[in-house]
Amino acid sequence: MPNAIAMPTASVRDSEGAQYKVLFLICLAHFLNDSIQSLLAPSYPLFKERFGLTFTQIGVITLVYNITASLLQPLVGRYTDRHPWPYLPPVGMTLSMSGLLMLSAAPSYHWLLVGGALLGSGSSIFHPEGARITRRASGGLYGTAQSIFQVGGNTGSSVGPLLAAAVIIPNGQGSLSWFVFLPLTGIAVLFRIGVWSAGLQRRAALSPPAALPPLPPRRLIVRTMSVLLALIFSKYFYTASITSYFIFYLTTRFGIDAQSAQLRLFAYLFAMALGTLIGGPIGDRIGRKKVIWVSILGVAPFTLALPHLDLFWTTAAIFLVGLILASAFPAIVVFAQELLPGRVGMVGGLFFGFSFGMGGIAAAVLGRLADLYGIEFVYHLCGYLPLMGLLTVFLPDLERRRRGK
């Protein structure tokens, strides 16, 4: 087929090199997917004003969205590890499109919950399959490939506040439907990737399966996965405080308007995209454990100082937090994939799902705290979360274990 993506002979082996055309397409698909998802939180001020919502109700919208994604993602990943379905990702993008259209036309709070649930369902299908495609196309550069995949998502997430400030806030709820071109483009991109995946699957069926390295002892797996999930908890609990409530914090504390606050939220999300792009290649070079150390614990000075800073330094601090914290997720996902070889979809689904779930629970809990004690209290409390990065000391040195065998 002319201009088709080059197909590996049987499977994507390290010696073949990274399939950069595939990585670019899955990065683009992640950008489109997360651009759609990112329109939800920046629309909260509009929903709050139109429907008279409390912070608790806003938190419940995020909870429904994130829990829908988190519960389904590990199940999707586990199923497709055993029964690959190359054309499943376009189905997820279709669900996201349905959620976007529902949010644009929702006549009441309860229909906003339905729209959030549809967005979460679409995301739950896309992310585990995206992680699998990324691993297959990596050519052994697992951290770099994961960063390429993740930077698409983080860049897409950073677009939401800009679109909200420029289009949605001035034009109202119905303008959400103007962005239907995003999922339509995503469906086309994911179908093209599906053609490559299907060809890879057919070729792999003609060759004997590659032997997988033995799993580490069960006790080590349980300890390591527990630490990694605790680190994800700290990262996404703090991230939820920014994505869901930072606009309200800025408008309440500094008296700026919502559009100016959206731009400062964009600075954080853009920094996350940049940090993600840098973190993966660094992890390939120096090891993932070192990256995890720096990315979680390294933001603690800035998060602890944040509630005491003026507007300028708040913007600078939140940019640095996003830049440093972002490199954690690619490193954690690849660390877990190396711990559990052959379970790429399940690991991707578990960690993407857990991150969504923690984000949703955090949004609900922090919304309630904001109603009870004020929005500034939330940032005093959350500033301590990165100290959980000290748990990294309990992670094994996987590189040393492999060298010792």
* Tokens at 308, concatenated: 């005491």
333 has pLDDT over 50 = yes
For residue 281, the tally of other CB atoms under 10 A from its CB is 17
15 has pLDDT over 90 = no
- Residue 21 inside a domain? The answer is yes
Single pTM value for the model: 0.67
Report the chain's terminal Cα–Cα distance, integer Å. 44
32 has pLDDT over 80 = yes
DSSP secondary structure of 313-364:
HHHHHHHHHHHHHTTHHHHHHHHHHHHSTT-HHHHHHHHHHHHHHHHHHHHH
- Residue 56 inside a domain? The answer is yes
- Scored b (16 or more CB within 10 A) or e, 90-123 reads bbbbbbbbbbbbbbbebeebeebbbbbbbbbbbb
The pLDDT, as a whole number, for residue 1 is 34
Contacts 24+ apart (CB under 8 A), 383-386: 383/300, 383/303, 383/304, 383/305, 383/306, 383/307, 384/300, 384/303, 384/304, 385/234, 385/237, 385/238, 385/303, 386/234, 386/238, 386/296, 386/297, 386/298, 386/299, 386/300, 386/303, 386/325
- Residue 122 inside a domain? The answer is yes
The pLDDT, as a whole number, for residue 2 is 37
CATH number for the domain spanning 279: value is: 1.20.1250.20
28 has pLDDT over 50 = yes
- Residue 2 inside a domain? The answer is no
Per the CB < 8 A criterion, the answer to whether 328 and 279 are in contact is yes
Give tens-digit pLDDT for 151-204. Answer: 888 788 778 777 877 888 888 899 999 999 999 999 999 999 988 888 777 776
Comparing 87 with 102, the larger pLDDT belongs to 102
Q: Give the 3-state secondary structure of residue 299.
A: coil
- Residue 385 inside a domain? The answer is yes
* Tokens at 325, concatenated: 């914290």
pLDDT-above-90 percentage for the chain: 30
Range of 79-83, 369-373, 401-405 with top mean pLDDT = 369-373
The pLDDT, as a whole number, for residue 3 is 37
Per the CB < 8 A criterion, the answer to whether 39 and 100 are in contact is yes
Give tens-digit pLDDT for 91-145. Answer: 999 999 999 999 999 999 999 999 999 998 998 888 888 878 888 888 777 778 8
Number of domains in the chain: 1
386 has pLDDT over 50 = yes
Give tens-digit pLDDT for 221-231. Answer: 889 989 998 99
What are the distances in angstroms from CA 381 to CA 63, 67, 108, 142, 377?
A: 20, 23, 32, 35, 6
61 has pLDDT over 80 = yes
pLDDT-above-70 percentage for the chain: 89
306 has pLDDT over 50 = yes
- Residue 259 inside a domain? The answer is yes
Mean pLDDT of 262-287: 80
Confidence of residue 43 (pLDDT cuts 50, 70, 90): confident
The residue range of the domain holding 147 is 14-207+215-404
Mean pLDDT of 346-371: 79
In a 13 Å sphere around the CA of 90, the CA atoms on its Cβ side amount to 15
Per the CB < 8 A criterion, the answer to whether 30 and 153 are in contact is yes
81 has pLDDT over 50 = yes
344 has pLDDT over 50 = yes
Rg (C-alpha) for the chain, rounded Å, is: 21
- Residue 7 inside a domain? The answer is no
The pLDDT, as a whole number, for residue 172 is 87
- Residue 242 inside a domain? The answer is yes
Q: Give the 3-state secondary structure of residue 143.
A: helix
Average pLDDT, the chain: 82
Comparing 344 with 254, the larger pLDDT belongs to 254
**Lowest-confidence segment of 12-16, 21-25, 59-63 by average pLDDT:** 12-16
By CB neighbour count within 10 A (0-12 exposed, 13-18 middle, 19+ buried), where does 52 fall?
exposed
Mean pLDDT of 263-274: 84
Mean pLDDT of 25-46: 89
